[in-house]
A and B are shown apart, each in its own frame.
Chain A
Amino acid sequence: MVAQLTSSERQYCAITLILMVIVGVAMAALGKSDPLGVHGVIVIVYSGVLLYLVLSAFYGPEPQEDRQASYYDDPIKVGIALSMVWAVFGMFMGVWVASQLAWPNLAFDAAWSTFGRLRPTHTTGVIFGFGGNALIATSFHVVQRTSRARLAGQISPWFVLFGFNLFCLLAVSGYLIGVTQSKEYAEAEWYADLWLVIVWVAYFILYIRTLARRKEPHIYVANWYYLAFILVVAVLHIVNNLAIPVSWGHAKSYTIWAGVQDAMVQWWYGHNAVAFFLTSGFLGMLYYYLPVRAGRPIFSYRLSILSFWGITFFYIWVGSHHLHYTALPHWVQNLGMTFSVMLLVPSWASAGNALLTLNGAWHKVRDDATLRFMFVAAVFYGLATFEGSFLAIRPVNSLSHYTDWTIGHVHAGALGWVALITFGSIYTLVPALWKRPAMYSATLVEVHFWLALAGTLIYVFAMWNSGIIQGLMWRTYTEDGTLTYSFVDTLVAMYPYYIARAFGGLLFLLGAIVACYNIWMTARGAPAVAVVGDGPAQSDAAPAPAE
């Protein structure tokens, strides 16, 4: 890592990290026994460890080769590793909270391990930790390859990567000690939010500067999706997190938005987190890694442009569908509902474009589990976007809202689409990054695929059943006009589905652990069997060298 930097770059790294340690000391001093003080200590330790890594290699030999002659892959490798660590953590927390719903004693009667504190560690862990790191890593890869230019910076990719992970760490550790803004997918408090703004602006500048260096005249469409992700997430994050801290020494803050405006801003953010964090960037992956893996150009480039602008301009208006039957003005609800239904057109255009790209390469989909990950991801993308448009229709929403159907919908998207396209991309990317002919074991990719697919299907079907039963029980009336079922009756009805859901999640987690092992062995240099073309390794019996 440090070996690739010149001595002046190492000095800049050290100065940045020393400044971060000073900020950590200030936080600890101002915060004292407040959670802010705890986070100050975390910032000191985090920056201190990185500073140690820089200083221990500080006087090593400088890079001799011409760095501009090769792509900058080190930050991508570290990003993939961090992404997989967060995947296992976030999915484990998901299995844990799912199990708590079936067996409440698993909270162990402690404050930090209650459902309310653990659940955001799951959502932040998988969305930002796993998804965010995967997006940063793949975006660094795609922008370099499609621009035929090296990243426009030696230090800033590291700053973006480690800065983003510091944000994730502050967020997750905060939830466990009771720090939260109580905003869905934006629970981290003001100081972590401010830090993320700095990191994100650095990310945006790095991406734009790299594009400006490009040798390819046209900016490939995948970059448009990544850029929409970076730009819009910055806007969403800033507007939704505008807040006044109680004091400089306090972790707690209060949002500047009041009442129904707060709800609208939150769900404008919340749904666009789905749109621009969980869709746009992952479509960037789809438009690069799927054609590359299939060895075929995208079916229609024009369609990809039309669906890009459709997705970008429709998504931004749909957030209000989260607030049907509330104090939000009726016309704003209608606006969200209408745009949600319209959104199906560009969404299905993207899904169809992906599937038609595979038309003619179905034998590869059959034989290559990596390509099958991406194929199934495109199918789930089509399914989840149809379901999303459907659930946004107000009368449908009256049945589905507040039930497990919503959870099922989110996971059809998060597991079936986001995670599967990520794994497909990672399995394409990892051998290329570490200069191996293929993954260490094609069989383990296959095992992962079936674990992930089985886990997703069990999860989603359990939640569909549970959610619809729940919704129907809530609206069943007796002849006297009173509710037929008490709330506890609905819980009893959902019990078997909660167990099934936890089991589905467990299968998905096991798949991610298998992936970690496979990636580790590939990176460690197990002699993979030479394979020509895109197919999976024909033999995976090659043992790893003993180390």
Chain B
Amino acid sequence: MDVSHDTLVALAKSWGLFYLIAFAVAVVIYAYRPANRARFNAAKKDILEQDDRPWR
């Protein structure tokens, strides 16, 4: 397989831009989805609990 330099540049300038934007949108949706709020709040508070044993 031989990819020419021009093909690579074209790919980087088109697909490269769009997949990053699409990915950014997906991450923002995940982070701000109201359904995830409780899960995130629990996660950040749970690490402060001091019990030092694995849960069974």
Which residues of chain B have C-beta atoms less than 8 A from A216's C-beta? 43, 46, 55
Which residues of chain A have C-beta atoms less than 8 A from B55's C-beta? 148-149, 215-216
Smallest CB separation, A333 vs chain B (Å) = 13
Q: A148-B54, A150-B54 are in contact. Are A301 and B40 (CB under 8 A)?
A: yes
Contact of A298 among B9, B39, B44 (CB under 8 A): B44
Question: What is the interface of chain B mostly: helix, strand, loop, or mixed?
Answer: helix
Which residues of chain B have C-beta atoms less than 8 A from A221's C-beta? 43
A477 sits at the interface (CB 8 A): no
Chain A 325-358 interface mask (CB, 8 Å, partner B; 1/0): 0000101000100000000000000000000000
Q: How many residues of B contact A (CB 8 A)?
A: 26
The answer to whether B27 and A305 have CB atoms under 8 Å apart is yes
Which residues of chain A have C-beta atoms less than 8 A from B31's C-beta? 302, 305-306
The answer to whether A145 and B47 have CB atoms under 8 Å apart is yes
Q: Which of B47, B55, B56 has the most CB of A within 10 A?
A: B47
Which residues of chain A have C-beta atoms less than 8 A from B42's C-beta? 218
Smallest CB separation, A275 vs chain B (Å) = 16
Chain B 28-43 interface mask (CB, 8 Å, partner A; 1/0): 1011100000011111
The answer to whether A291 and B47 have CB atoms under 8 Å apart is yes
Q: A306-B28, A329-B5 are in contact. Are A301 and B54 (CB under 8 A)?
A: no
Which residues of chain B have C-beta atoms less than 8 A from A329's C-beta? 5
Smallest CB separation, B6 vs chain A (Å) = 11
Quick one: which of B1-56 are within 8 Å of A by CB? 5, 9, 12, 20, 23-24, 27-28, 30-32, 39-48, 52-56
Q: Closest residue to A146 on the B side, CB-wise?
A: B47
Q: Closest residue to B44 on the A side, CB-wise?
A: A297
A71 sits at the interface (CB 8 A): yes
Q: Closest residue to B5 on the A side, CB-wise?
A: A329
Which residues of chain A have C-beta atoms less than 8 A from B43's C-beta? 216, 218, 220-221, 301
Q: Closest residue to B40 on the A side, CB-wise?
A: A301
A100 sits at the interface (CB 8 A): no
Query: Complex Cα distance A70/B56, Å?
Result: 10
A248 sits at the interface (CB 8 A): no
A201 sits at the interface (CB 8 A): no
Smallest CB separation, A261 vs chain B (Å) = 12
Smallest CB separation, A535 vs chain B (Å) = 15
Query: Complex Cα distance A123/B9, Å?
Result: 35
The answer to whether A313 and B20 have CB atoms under 8 Å apart is yes
Query: Complex Cα distance A21/B46, Å?
Result: 45
Smallest CB separation, A306 vs chain B (Å) = 5
Which residues of chain A have C-beta atoms less than 8 A from B47's C-beta? 145-146, 220, 288, 291-292, 297
Query: Complex Cα distance A313/B9, Å?
Result: 19
Smallest CB separation, B9 vs chain A (Å) = 6
Query: Complex Cα distance A335/B41, Å?
Result: 37
A45 sits at the interface (CB 8 A): no
Q: A306-B28, A309-B27, A329-B5 are in contact. Are A335 and B12 (CB under 8 A)?
A: yes
Contact of B52 among A301, A331, A432 (CB under 8 A): A432
A240 sits at the interface (CB 8 A): no
Which residues of chain A have C-beta atoms less than 8 A from B41's C-beta? 301
Q: Which of B31, B42, B52, B54 has the most CB of A within 10 A?
A: B54
Q: Closest residue to A304 on the B side, CB-wise?
A: B44
Contact of A306 among B27, B39, B44, B53 (CB under 8 A): B27
The answer to whether A68 and B40 have CB atoms under 8 Å apart is no
Smallest CB separation, B17 vs chain A (Å) = 11
Which residues of chain A have C-beta atoms less than 8 A from B48's C-beta? 291-292, 295-297
Which residues of chain B have C-beta atoms less than 8 A from A296's C-beta? 48
A144 sits at the interface (CB 8 A): yes
Smallest CB separation, B47 vs chain A (Å) = 6
Q: Closest residue to A305 on the B side, CB-wise?
A: B31
The answer to whether A217 and B28 have CB atoms under 8 Å apart is no
Query: Complex Cα distance A144/B23, Å?
Result: 30
Smallest CB separation, B3 vs chain A (Å) = 13
Which residues of chain B have C-beta atoms less than 8 A from A331's C-beta? 9, 12
Contact of B30 among A215, A291, A305 (CB under 8 A): A305
Query: Complex Cα distance A302/B29, Å?
Result: 11
Which residues of chain A have C-beta atoms less than 8 A from B56's C-beta? 68-69, 215
Query: Complex Cα distance A297/B52, Å?
Result: 18
A-B contacts besides A301-B44, A309-B23, 7 pairs, CB < 8 Å: A70-B54, A71-B53, A145-B52, A146-B47, A216-B55, A218-B43, A297-B45
Nearest first, the 3 A-B pairs at minimum CB distance are A215-B55, A297-B44, A148-B55
Question: Which residues on A are within 8 Å of B, measured CB to CB?
Answer: 68-71, 144-146, 148-150, 215-218, 220-221, 288, 291-292, 295-298, 301-302, 305-306, 309, 313, 329, 331, 335, 432
Question: Which residues on B are within 8 Å of A, measured CB to CB?
Answer: 5, 9, 12, 20, 23-24, 27-28, 30-32, 39-48, 52-56
Listed by A's residue number, 5 A-B pairs whose Cβ atoms lie within 8 Å are A146-B46, A148-B54, A220-B44, A220-B47, A292-B48
